[in-house]
Chains A and B, each alone.
Chain A
């Protein structure tokens, strides 16, 4: 009899456990249902994201080609400006020679007022010459911006490469072929068009220190002064 009571007690304990499981499951089922609903709603969203990324990735080669076109166009335009500046400089040179020849050939026959005016013309020609040369120097911006654009291109191409490798395993992906990755040696990503006089002074100090066999510590100190 005692044994039967013990078995019954165990049975009731198990039934209690079972009851707890049922009660717990009752609470869990709506959560699982919500999870399933959430996943059901998320799938189209994920498909949209997938499609959007695929489309964006497919546009990358066009974007990088357009950046290359900008670089080529600015280089062409800069060459045209340089050609024009060269012509201006040549004309200035020719005008200067003519005025010089006139002064020399008419020496003694030109009155003071004309001589003075011709001197002013020569000064103006020299100024124009200087300004034209300054235009040429400002065109260094083309090289610097083309390096910045190449750095942007490299970054975009790297993103495409990463996305392509991520999507490679997906069956329905349709990512287009990548452009060849820009050679990293072609550009300096830190290229800036700015006044370099202060930086040039610091470089000069390093060059001087290097030429006088300064230690690495001494060179480092030059930079710490900044």
Chain B
């Protein structure tokens, strides 16, 4: 499967770390966005995106709002969504899952955990 990622995080540092980790996993095809609003624009511009990795806390549209927007959209609701965030409270995780994320990674993450979650999502989609 030819994967194209959309990496959404307001932190430049985190975007680079996620992208570096993806590159090390041989996923070289990606676009980035700094918040939910920009992410939606990038999705429109790049119809070949099939995997979204998003942070939760962002200015403008948050990651959670982005997830809800994606799931509410007929055009994008098939996308795989992985949330990578510092929020580790039970209610946060449940809220994210109910909103439609496929999996959830807590920051700081290791590349092994990132790979494991990406693989789990891809396996469940196949």
Contacts and interface: CB of A to CB of B under 8 A. Distances in A.
Interface of A: 75, 78-79, 82, 86, 133, 136-144, 146-147, 183, 185-188, 190-194, 196, 199-200, 203, 206-207, 210-211, 216, 219-220, 223
A190 B13 contact: no
A206 B111 CA distance: 21
B11 A200 contact: no
B13 A78 contact: yes
B-side interface size class: 35 or more
A153 to B, nearest CB: 14
Contacts of A86: 20
Given A78-B13, A147-B86, A200-B106, A188 B56 contact: yes
7 contacts: A78-B13, A82-B17, A136-B20, A137-B109, A147-B57, A188-B86, A199-B88
Contacts of A75: 11-13
Interface string B97-126: 100000111111111010000000000100
A146 B113 contact: no
Contact of B57 (A188, A199, A220): A188
| Interface class of chain A by DSSP | helix
A186 B59 contact: yes
Contacts of B111: 133, 137
Contacts of B105: 200, 203
A223 B90 contact: yes
B103 A186 contact: no
B124 to A, nearest CB: 8
A185 B58 contact: yes
Most chain B C-beta atoms within 10 Å of own C-beta, residue among A75, A186, A187, A207: A207
B108 A203 contact: no
Nearest to B90: A223
B54 interface: no
B109 A140 contact: yes
Interface in B51-93: 56-59, 62, 85-90, 93
A133 B24 contact: yes
